Structures are given as C-alpha cells and as structure tokens.
Chains A and B, each alone.
Chain A
Amino acid sequence: MSGARNISNALRRARLPRPRVHLRPVLPQSPLTHATALRSFSSTPLRASTKEIKYTSEAYNIQRDPKFAEVTADDVAFFKSLLGSESAVVDGVTADATDDIEPFNSDWMRKYRGHTRLVLKPQSTEEVSKVLKYCNERKLAVVPQGGNTGLVGGSVPVFDEIVVNTSRMNQIRSFDQASGVLVADAGVILETADSYLAERGHLFPLDLGAKGSCHIGGNVSTNAGGLRLLRYGSLHGTVLGLEAVLPDGTIVDSLSTLRKNNTGYDLKQLFIGSEGTIGLVTAVSILCPPRPRAVNVAYFGLESFEHVQKAYLEAKNQLSEILSAFELMDGRSQGLVHTSTGNKYPLEGEYPFYCLIETSGSNAEHDMAKLEAFLEHVMGEGIVADGVLAQDETQFQALWRWREGITESLSHLGGTYKYDVSIPLAELYQLVEDCNSRLTEMGFVGDDDSFPVRAVVGYGHMGDSNLHLNVSVRQYNKEVEKAIEPWVYEWIQKRNGSISAEHGLGIAKRQYIGYSQNETMVNLMKQLKGLYDPNGIMNPYKYI
C-alpha cells in the first residue's frame, strides 16, 4: 500500500502549494527515529548567499572596544587541544576559512555581519565552562550562538568575538512520561525535540516558524514566544530549570524538574530572555503538555479590524480551552505571500484582514461541535465575511503556510524592517495604518522600483496582543529607517507598549531599551551584568 501512496504524495507535493525554497535548512527525517536512549542530532549552519552583506560595525557605526584581546594563534591552539576534534573549531585565524566561517558571521535575513575569525563548537557543559573561563581570563569577547535564526542580530558577532555555537550539544538527556518533563541539551533543534516528544505523545510548548533550525537553548536565552504562547504560556513559566555557564567558568546547575520549588531567588529566570549577556545556557528542563489528538484550523476573511476584535472575543469565549492560536494577517501581507509563492488564495474574494484560528483538544467530536457552533455564530452574525475549514492534513499545512510563510516570503522579495511590538489590543493595528500613511506621505511607498518601500504590512499573534509591523523594502535605505525609527518606538511608548514583545533587543534595538524600561530597571540590569560578567565578555555591543 505504501508504494502508490508515496508516489501520490510525491506528485501532490510537486503540485500542491508548498514552500519552494527553504531559506533555513530543514532537518531531514532521521532514519534513527526508533532508536532509544540518547540520540544524537545535528544541524548544518545556514549558508550565506553571494551578495555582500554590510558589516554591522559599519551599519551601526560601532567602535571595537579596545579592552578585549585579539585572538592569537596560541589561543586557537589551546582551543583545538581542549575541544579535540577538528570539526569543533572553525579556524579563520591561522588559516583561510572565509567560506566556512561566513554562515556564523551573518544572519539569515542578510542584515547583520560580523568579523569573527573563530568559531567553537563545544560538545559538553564542561567544555563550555573551560572555553568561557579561558576567554574570561584572556578577555576575549564571546557570542553564544544557537541556530542563528534570530531577528535582531543578537547571535551574530559585531567584531572579532569568538562564536560559541551550541550545535554539537544536541543530546536529549531524559524524558519523564508521567510528568512530561524533558531535559535536553541547548543545541537540540526545536523540531527534533518536538518529533521526539511526538513519538511519546507529548508536545514542545513552543512552536515557531524557524523550528527546523533554531536551538532550544537559543529559544530559552531569547525567551522566544511563537505561535502557541496563547495556549501554553511563556518560557518563563514552562522552563522548570536550566544549566548555564557563567563567564568565569562556573556551571550553574539549576536543572530542576520540579514544578514547585519555592526556595529563594529564582535565578534561572535571569538567563531566560537575557540573550546570552550573563551566561551561556547549556541545557534546559521544560514541562511539556500532552500532544493534542484533534487539531483543526480555520482561515477567515474579515472586513475591518473591529470585526477581527469581535471574532477574537467570540473565539476566546466560545472556544476557550481548545483555542490554541489566533493569528492576524492583514490583506497586504497575504498579497505578498501570494506574489512570492504563487499559491492560490484560500478564499474567493479579497479582504483587508485575515485570521487563522487553531483549536487543539483531546476529543475530535467535542472540538468539532464547539468549533462548528462558533463558526456558525461568527458567520451568522456577519463578524466573519468568509472562511474555510481545513478538511485534511494537507489543507491544514497549506493554511498555516499563509501565516508562517510571511517572514520567508518577505525575505524573498527584498529587505524587511521588522518591529515586534506589544500594544493594547484596541490599538494593535493602528500602528500599521499610521506607519503606512507616514511613509506614504513621505513618498517612500510605491509599486515600482523607484520607491524604496514595497509595502507596510502587519500580522501577528492577536491572542497575545503582539503585532509584527514589517516594512518590506526593495533595498535597505537609511532615509526610510530614519523615518521609522525612533518614531515607531515613541508611538509605542505613548501607549505603554513594549518595543520588543518576543524578538528581543540584540543589535537592532540596542539603543531603544529606554522606551520600554525605565532608568532604574536598566541600572538594575547593568548591576547584574557587572556582577556575573565583570569583564563584559558575554555578547558585547548588544543592548547592555
């Protein structure tokens, strides 16, 4: 039976809407899926393409801090003897390794580029500890790097910081079926962790577009939010413990698997979202919920943002515990996905707003009854103008592509200025409209190549009041950037929003932390930084 099924799969894949090019490498199905005990996973870092990316140091006009030492041949020899294997060190100091090192020096958006000449890939926490201790003593700056899928340049070096990449720390350490607690190395790829859990009836409580490349250690360090935060909450809650290494080599073993542990300061929280500025996360213990057995997806077209808000309220009230995602996409974002992928729109007509609703539950019939009642209500009341419901797995995936594929589509079409913000729900979309009229009035937006801006689009996690404002440009342009920043941050500050809801600060927003944190808070952060990283070697030149 599988023969023709495979052929039909292959044929349908060739024909059905599918992402054409994966910018980020996707892990192939491991032939070892049934292997037990410790399993090894690995990833390939991304390949940069041919066009030159501007150096971050020039683009952001940053000076190298002379307090940091430069990497010497002796240092490289030390690291080589410490880490043993050839593949653990990408050495651009004593040899020419330009091509090998480039993927670690730049990001997938082709926005940030550093000058590093050394990449280290330790395999154990002890190795990380020795590496950091050595760097600290020698005052060599370090950038911790996972899958390098970040959106703010936090994992990309600025100058010659040594990249410490977690890709070889990729073991799943343990999983407890009863409690659902997974303990895994920082370099395990999110999708790999999720497939491992899927075989055991569980789900990783985080899901995002870059899941095929990003590392869970990076997810934790940046406190990634993603698509299902609405349902499973933030990593500040689901991470039960972690293991990290401080710059002086101290191994912070807080790998608790307990849900409750009220014994003093909850220090692990310092590493969640601090973007590798205090220490390097080497392992994570995380609470994983049972995998939902019934998942449904509906895709709506709506006439206005007021309708979107109404639909969200109804979804929250009527679907309550089975609602697992409520995503907003504006018409322009869907238009760009259409242009980039050539896929047929799911709906007949075009609408200014689209929503994607996902339900996850344990009982298909119960969920369907609830969902149908909800759908009938929103259609009947005219809240939703049109919509479709996925009838099979293929349609399910295809509908999600209209949301998850936005980022990728934008990158196919040129550059993107990305703003990831939290704004009170009522004004969520106003930012996109204001930004669009501002840039249009300034004469930047247009349909042909003489205009730098292709479109101003908005989409995001409606359920979390989290909007992604994206300005799609034909090429990066200082004038456009000046027109948006700091205007956009001021706009958000006035509404007490956050200038970075889930992407972090990194390089991109290094100067703007003040718009969302007051002076006292920033000073407290600096004190902590000074305490644990007195030499400032951890991820320098970034937000702190």
Chain B
Amino acid sequence: MASGLRILVPVKRVIDYAIKPRINKSQTGVETAGVKHSLNPFDELSVEEAVRLRERKGPLQVENILALSAGGPKAPDVLRTAMAMGADRAFHIDVPDAEGSPEPLTIAKMLKGVVEKENINLVLLGKQAIDGDQGQTGQMLAGLLGWPQATQASKIDIKDAEGTVEITHEVDGGVETLKAKLPLVITTDLRLNEPRYASLPNIMKAKKKPLEKKTLADFGVEDTRRLKTIKVTEPPPRKGGGKVEDVDGLVAKLKELGAL
C-alpha cells in the first residue's frame, strides 16, 4: 500500500447557487453571460474535506491535493479558489465554453486518465454539479477504474495506515456506514463539513501554486456527445395568491369561489 494520500478533487465552475438562473432567449440553455459564477457548492465540500484530511494528521498523510476543472477560460477562477482553500496544484482541462459541458461519461473517462497518470489513490467529488444536476460522474469513474465507491458521504474517516476508510452517508430513515480500502472514489454531500473562507494570505499563495493547462486529448479522450438538448423552458408559472383587504373581503372572496 502507498505511503500517503494522493487526492484528486474535480471541481466545476457553475452559476452561483444564490442566483436565480434564467433561460436564454434561444431556449437552448441557461443564460450564463454576465451572471455571477462560483465553485459548485458540493465541490467546495470535497476541497474542504481533502484539506481537512491533511490537517487531521490521521494514519495516512496527505501527499498531494490536485484540483481539476474542465471548462472555458474562466475555469481557473475556481481552481484558484480551490488552491486558496488548500489544494496544492491544479489542472485546467480546456473545453471551449461555446460547446457546453462535456457529458459525465467523457469527464469520467478523462478523470480515469488523470488518476492513472498522476498515481491518484483517492478521488473526492461533489455528488453533483448544481448546473446539470446529473450526479453520475463519480459513479461512472468508479466503474471505469474498477474501484470501490462511497456516495454522498457525510463523514469520512481514515482508519489505518493500510488505507481502510470508513464512510458514513445518509439513507432513508438513518445513516449507513461503509468500509472500503484505498484506492477509492467518494462523492460528498452537504453535511460533510462547513467550507472555510479563503483567507487573504492563502489567496496570495494560491497565485503562485502551479496551474497546468491540459486538453481532453492529453488523456486520450474525445468530447463526443450522445445527447442533444432540444429545448429548455421554464416550468409553468405558479399562480400567485390574491390579497384581500380585510375579513369582509375574505368572506366575499370565499363566497365567490364557492367555498362558502
């Protein structure tokens, strides 16, 4: 067994979760121009957890935390955030914005390539990205690698130097605890931790950390699409309630609706 943890944390730049997304005019997707973007909240949890694994000084030391993002020219913004939080280095896989995000299988294949080339033994992924909400990448990656997987973790515990890991996740009506050995794929859920703020000294340091630009081809993957988005529309607007001035108004309204 390897002497330490070499963690890969794939992250995605998405529309800030506090912002209400709007459909674009051509109804092909969500309007992204001029909209505030930030690190996918689930990925923020996986970065935080990777950093905590290092700080916890468990039976296995963290050797290296590699953050990775596939996306357009702005993707390095979230990689800098990840490095400000504590990731050591980053890969930016250049995928033009115009084409939208590659499908989960493409990403999973690319991640498999990264895992093999970089000798990774733990992959921490957000359970889903809040833009596509597909929630497939982690599972596909585990399948491709033939590794055990633990999804939607709410607690991660490295038990011993042999790489035994205990993962707790929430299931209907309670929690389930799993045990597996490294190498391992874990996807993160909201209760796992509370992500830290990026401190100013760490933001400065993050600027000097290595950020390498790569392409899908570097990992032998092609961006093939099997799904085509036909149309994106808003759900039918909910009919708003009316307001009545006073009790008499309420009674009148109820009578009008035949409720009284």
Binding site for B on A (CB under 8 A): 1-5, 8-9, 11-12, 15-16, 30-32, 40, 42, 85-87, 293, 298-300, 344, 346-348, 372, 375-376, 379, 384, 386-395, 397, 399
Contacts and interface: CB of A to CB of B under 8 A. Distances in A.
A393 B18 contact: yes
A86 B190 contact: no
Contacts of B190: 8, 11-12, 15
Given A4-B133, A389-B203, 20 more contacts: A1-B133, A2-B235, A4-B135, A5-B130, A12-B17, A15-B190, A16-B194, A31-B238, A31-B239, A40-B243, A42-B243, A85-B246, A299-B197, A375-B204, A376-B204, A384-B200, A387-B200, A391-B38, A393-B36, A399-B197
A11 B42 CA distance: 12
B17 A386 contact: no
A379 B18 contact: no
A375 B200 contact: yes
Contacts of B191: 15
B240 A32 contact: yes
30 contacts: A1-B130, A2-B235, A4-B133, A4-B135, A5-B17, A5-B21, A5-B130, A8-B190, A12-B190, A30-B240, A31-B240, A31-B241, A86-B248, A87-B245, A87-B246, A348-B199, A375-B200, A375-B203, A376-B204, A379-B200, A386-B201, A388-B198, A388-B200, A389-B198, A389-B203, A391-B38, A391-B81, A392-B17, A394-B18, A395-B197
B21 A1 contact: yes
B198 A392 contact: no
A391 B39 contact: yes
Interface residues of B, number: 40
B46 interface: no
A498 to B, nearest CB: 34
B98 interface: no
Interface centre among B81, B191, B203 (most CB of A within 10 A): B203
Contacts of A300: 200
Contacts of A87: 245-246
Contacts of B204: 375-376, 379
Contacts of A393: 16-19, 36, 38
Contacts of A388: 197-200
Interface string B114-138: 0000000000000010111101000
B41 interface: yes
Contacts of B241: 31
B27 to A, nearest CB: 14
B39 A86 contact: no
B21 A346 contact: no
Interface in B28-51: 30, 34, 36, 38-39, 41-42
A298 B200 contact: yes
A86 B133 CA distance: 50
Nearest to A393: B18
A86 B246 contact: yes
List the 6 closest pairs (A to B, CB-CB), nearest first.
A31-B240, A392-B38, A393-B18, A388-B197, A87-B246, A387-B200
Contact of B21 (A2, A8, A85, A344): A2
A387 B199 contact: yes
A344 B201 CA distance: 19
A457 to B, nearest CB: 23
A299 B203 CA distance: 13
Nearest to A42: B243
Given A86-B248, A391-B39, A1 B30 contact: yes
A298 B235 CA distance: 37
A246 to B, nearest CB: 29
Interface of B: 16-19, 21, 30, 34, 36, 38-39, 41-42, 81, 84, 128, 130-133, 135, 190-191, 194, 197-201, 203-204, 235, 238-241, 243, 245-248
B198 A4 contact: no
Contacts of A8: 17, 41-42, 130, 190
A347 B199 contact: yes
Given A1-B133, A16-B194, A394-B18, A389 B39 contact: no
Contacts of A42: 243
B200 A386 contact: yes
Contacts of B199: 347-348, 386-388
A1 B243 CA distance: 31
Contacts of A11: 190
Given A42-B243, A391-B39, A3 B133 contact: yes
B206 to A, nearest CB: 11
A372 B198 CA distance: 13
Nearest to A344: B194
Contacts of B36: 392-393
Contacts of A9: 17-18
A4 B130 contact: yes
Contacts of B132: 1
Given A388-B199, A390-B197, A397-B18, A5 B133 contact: yes
Nearest to A123: B245
Contacts of B130: 1, 4-5, 8
B104 to A, nearest CB: 14
Contacts of B248: 86
A392 B18 contact: yes
Contacts of A392: 16-18, 36, 38-39
A300 B199 CA distance: 9
Contacts of B194: 15-16, 344
A397 B248 CA distance: 41
A276 B81 CA distance: 50
A8 to B, nearest CB: 6
A85 B247 CA distance: 11
Interface centre among B16, B190, B243 (most CB of A within 10 A): B190
